[in-house]
Amino acid sequence: MTEFEISRYLASSLADEQRGPEDTVLEYIRAYQKWARDCEAWAKAHPGQIEKLQRGAARETLSLIQKKYCSAKNRQFQRASTGYFFYGGTFQASPVVESCEEQGHRLCSVTTRKAGHSPSFRFRLERHGKAWLIASIERKDGTGRWVPDTL
């Protein structure tokens, strides 16, 4: 499964010290979306073999993407065998940053939205050394409340 080579997803990434909170979120979304599209294509080409994605190179690549952009936490491979490889609606979306609010010099909140829609996701970031890393993510539910989402 060489189609999940990590360099495919990090090719246009900035160096950690050059990446601000907004850059971190947008780069993560781009890398994740590309990975999700590759997973979906692979699943279509290999019907009935989703478990290979969950235990193989795709899982390892997702872990490396998360290691680059997310703070260190126990993040289990969370994609079920239904083929749902993407965060609610971001798969084909081109998100834009709605707001970026720094809460001190080590914490930040970045809210994104899909063009033409209300805010979709709120990313909480922490500064680790010279890098901004995503600590958690929330999404708006049907009632307009922010609810935790899986990262």
Q: How does pLDDT run across 109-137, given as a tens digit for each residue?
A: 999 887 666 667 899 999 999 999 999 98
Query: Which among 29, 31, 27, 30 has a CA at the least distance from the CA of 18?
Result: 27
User: For a pLDDT cut of 90, what percent of the chain falls above it?
Assistant: 28
- What is the C-alpha separation between 33 and 55, in angstroms, rounded? 19
Whether the full predicted model's pTM is greater than 0.85, yes or no, is no
- Among the residues of the chain, which ranges form H helices? 7-10, 21-45, 50-55, 57-69
Domains and CATH numbers, the chain: 2-149 (3.10.450)
**Residue found under tokens 């890398």:** 31
* Cα dihedral 25→26→30→36 (10° resolution): 40
How distant is the alpha carbon of residue 40 from its chain centre?
A: 16
Condensed to tens digits (0 to 9), the pLDDT of residues 65-90 reads: 989 999 886 545 444 333 345 443 34
Supply 56's token pair: 């193989």
